[in-house]
Amino acid sequence: MATEPIPDTLLRRRIVIEAVEPELDCGRYAIKRELGDTLDVWADIFRDGHDALAAAVRYRHEDDPTWWETRMRFVDNDRWHATFRLDRLGRWLYTIVAWTDAFGSWIDALRKKFDDGQDVTVDLHDGLALLDDAIGRAQGRDRERLIAFRAEIADPAALLADRVAAALDPELLALVERYPERRHETLYDRVLAVQVERVAARFAAWYELFPRSMSDDPRRHGTFDDVIRKLPYVKAMGFDVLYFPPIHPIGRTHRKGRNNALVAGPDDPGSPYAIGAAEGGHTAVHPELGTLEDFRRLVRAAAEHGLEIALDFAIQASPDHPWVHEHPEWFRRRSDGSIAYAENPPKRYEDIYPFDFDSPAAAALWEAWRDVLEFWIAQGVRIFRVDNPHTKPVPFWRWLIREIQRAHPDVIFLAEAFTRPKMMKALAKVGFSQSYTYFTWRNTKAELEAYFAELTRTAMREYFRPMLFPNTPDILPEFLQRGGRPAFLIRAILAATLSSLWGIYSGFELCENRGLPGREEYADSEKYELKAWDWDRPGHIRAEIARLNAVRRAHPALQEFANLEFLRAEDDEVLAYAKRTPDGGETIVVVVSLDPFGPRTADVHLPLAAWGLPLQATWEVDELLWGGARRHVGPVVRVELTPDRPGQIWRVHVPRHSEREFPAYDEPAVLPVPSLPPQPVGS
């Protein structure tokens, strides 16, 4: 029977590389990290027999043609580990290569035989051939030292013990490892990717406002200059990002009136999501807000206050949008020839036309949206909150975000996708930097613990950065409507500390909780009318929000989201959790009442032993939110919470851990790897 010849690569592929971490969906998607991170790479690496192994992580930035390698270290049970630093924005690629360490195998066998009292004369001679190979690859001073070692090992006049000692000299192993023999190396069969973004993709506090309401006069449309005058107000609360709903011209056809009325009055401004009018579309600004130059001036002024402007990217049009007439092929028509307006039954949006992504002209439509983003990037915008991305094709987002971030790796995308879990995950996998979450509707202790365990203890931690908004212009949760000021404090503390990303829609700091009866929506919604807020009205929580943001900024443990550890609190209405920096240098504990109506007392259990303290140790905390210090003995502390102060944030003083120590090498076929700097492949 005729058969295909067996490939030489298969004959020589003796090493198994599997269980690589991090790896997302078999390498289909990139994981996410931030600039300056070190990426920890783990893998199971083994082969038949008892030969020693060596392995390396191979990596490069996608724009760098040179692959670099850093050696992996054996941990235990065939598990290997290495790290490399992500010092450039954009996409990085990485994989793993492993090879049989012939010289290391010889060293291991020589040591065992000599320790057993066996004659190793022939073994020493066998090793000279391996050493000759290394000498042939070595250069400069290294080559000279290898030749000197060879002479000692080969010296027939020397004592056998001295020749063996020369062969086992750690310096010799280090020298040979710089020039390994890798003819039969095994390369992992996937090249994996990591998207490196700004730290603001992981750690930021957002504040949302409607620029048109910033005149403080319900009879006068606000302007970009009015927003500039509000910048100190926003910055005083400690926010990093100032986010606007759409700032484009608003259509007049089927314009919505106050409280979403189907008929608008002559002075009703309409919904900013009905984008497009005679004045322009997605690359124009509403004329009552100002000009493009006014907007650019606002961007510059915000930067002077340490704020970044984020814009809403909403892929929809009013019936008056210029594209309706310029590109009718981009819209879906009904059997009567009319364009279908947007619907999410039973909700109807008569003032909005959706775009047809199944159109034969879809390629031009995709490119048009890329050009819209490029336009706003040119105006100085680097953050986009994307409205309803789950109603557009996932491949479109994968292409669009990749196109933009290749050219502008500092651009951040937030997915506003309150939708099915798998769709939310898919959008994050294909490139969205941040994602809205179900936090808005998770209120009980069991709900919060289960949901955040999923976010931080599963593969989601590799690609899904959770953004926590307690409210939005569309959502006023029942908890806030019922609970008054304490409810707003509770949700602020939770949002600001459970994740490293959080934000509020203006009015939250004023404890605005007037909702439509029986619905989680604001009464007199700002989406349909101008507002004039009393920014100093009694009962506001601006000072508390400012303190929360100051604590977050001052304490690195709160600037991560995947380091969340829930603690035992003996009250179903009290949630307790800890966050620690990777080196254990900072430990933060947060205890929050979930009851806005009365006081709560709970015993909270701390894992002192895991934190490097004896079980009955005396330990101290600084309370960061309200001030003060306390001393405790033992792992259980009683916490009293009130509606006025429903949460506490502690900085726990515990010993700093050293960096992780790897276990001793307990497999005889694996030798310690000398510390080698990363090397370009082929060097």
Burial profile 147-174: b = 16 or more Cβ within 10 angstroms, e = fewer: eebbeebeeeeeeeeebbebbeeeebbb
Residue recorded with tokens 């709560």: 600
Q: 658 pLDDT exceeds 60?
A: no
Which range (341-355, 359-373, 443-457) has the least confidence?
Answer: 341-355
Identical topology for domains 8-100+184-196 and 103-177: no
Q: Average pLDDT for residues 643-667, to the nearest whole number?
A: 66
Inter-axis angle of helices 102-115 and 170-177, nearest 10? 160
Torsion of Cα atoms, 225 then 226 then 228 then 229, to 10° = 130
Q: Give the pLDDT band of residue 48 (cuts 50, 70, 90).
A: very high
Higher pLDDT, 489 or 659: 489
Q: Average pLDDT for residues 48-67, to the nearest whole number?
A: 94
Cα end-to-end span (Å), the chain: 45
- Mean per-residue pLDDT of the chain: 93
Higher pLDDT, 408 or 174: 408
pLDDT of 27: 97
Closest by CA position to 678, among listed 62, 72, 215, 99: 72
Q: Average pLDDT for residues 554-576, to the nearest whole number?
A: 98
Q: Average pLDDT for residues 194-222, to the nearest whole number?
A: 97
Q: Where are the beta strands (DSSP E) in 101-181?
A: none
Q: 386 pLDDT exceeds 90?
A: yes
Q: 669 pLDDT exceeds 70?
A: no
pLDDT of 182: 86
The DSSP annotation for 316-380 comes to -B-TT-HHHHH-GGGS-B-TTSPBPPEEETTEEETT-B---TTSTTHHHHHHHHHHHHHHHHHTT
Residue recorded with tokens 């309706």: 324
Q: Give the pLDDT band of residue 663 (cuts 50, 70, 90).
A: very low
> What gap in Å lies between CA 322 and CA 584, rounded to an integer?
57
Q: What is the biggest distance separating any 2 CA atoms in the chain, rounded to whole angstroms?
A: 108
Which residues are catalytic, by number? 387, 416
Q: In terms of residues, how long is the chain?
A: 683
Residue 639 sits at φ, ψ, to 5 deg, of -120, 130
User: Exposed, middle or buried: residue 115 (CB in 10 Å: 0-12, 13-18, 19+)?
Assistant: exposed
Q: Give the pLDDT band of residue 667 (cuts 50, 70, 90).
A: very low
Higher pLDDT, 350 or 454: 454
Kindly state the percentage of the chain with pLDDT values over 90: 85
Q: Give the pLDDT band of residue 666 (cuts 50, 70, 90).
A: very low
Assign domain 8-100+184-196 to its CATH architecture.
Answer: Sandwich (2.60)
H runs (alpha helix) in 417-519: 421-429, 445-457, 478-498
Q: Give the pLDDT band of residue 656 (cuts 50, 70, 90).
A: low
Q: 642 pLDDT exceeds 90?
A: yes
Residue recorded with tokens 């783990």: 42
Q: State pLDDT tens for residues 404-460.
A: 999 999 999 999 999 999 999 999 999 999 999 999 999 999 999 999 999 999 999
74 within 8 A of 33, measured Cβ to Cβ: no
> What gap in Å lies between CA 509 and CA 511, rounded to an integer?
5
Q: State pLDDT tens for residues 112-125.
A: 999 999 999 999 99
Extents of the domains making up the chain:
8-100+184-196, 103-177, 564-652
pLDDT of 397: 98
Q: 682 pLDDT exceeds 90?
A: no
Q: State pLDDT tens for residues 9-45.
A: 777 788 999 999 999 999 999 999 999 999 999 999 9
User: Exposed, middle or buried: residue 420 (CB in 10 Å: 0-12, 13-18, 19+)?
Assistant: exposed
Q: Average pLDDT for residues 316-328, to the nearest whole number?
A: 96
User: What is 103-177's CATH number?
Assistant: 1.20.58.80
Q: Average pLDDT for residues 584-609, to the nearest whole number?
A: 96
Higher pLDDT, 62 or 6: 62
Please state whether beta strands 204-208 and 192-197 pair in parallel, antiparallel, or not at all (unpaired): unpaired
Q: Give the pLDDT band of residue 278 (cuts 50, 70, 90).
A: very high
Q: 609 pLDDT exceeds 70?
A: yes
Q: 218 pLDDT exceeds 70?
A: yes
Q: Which amino acid is at 268?
A: D
Fold entry, domain 564-652: Immunoglobulin-like (2.60.40)
Q: Average pLDDT for residues 669-680, to the nearest whole number?
A: 56
Q: Average pLDDT for residues 67-84, to the nearest whole number?
A: 96
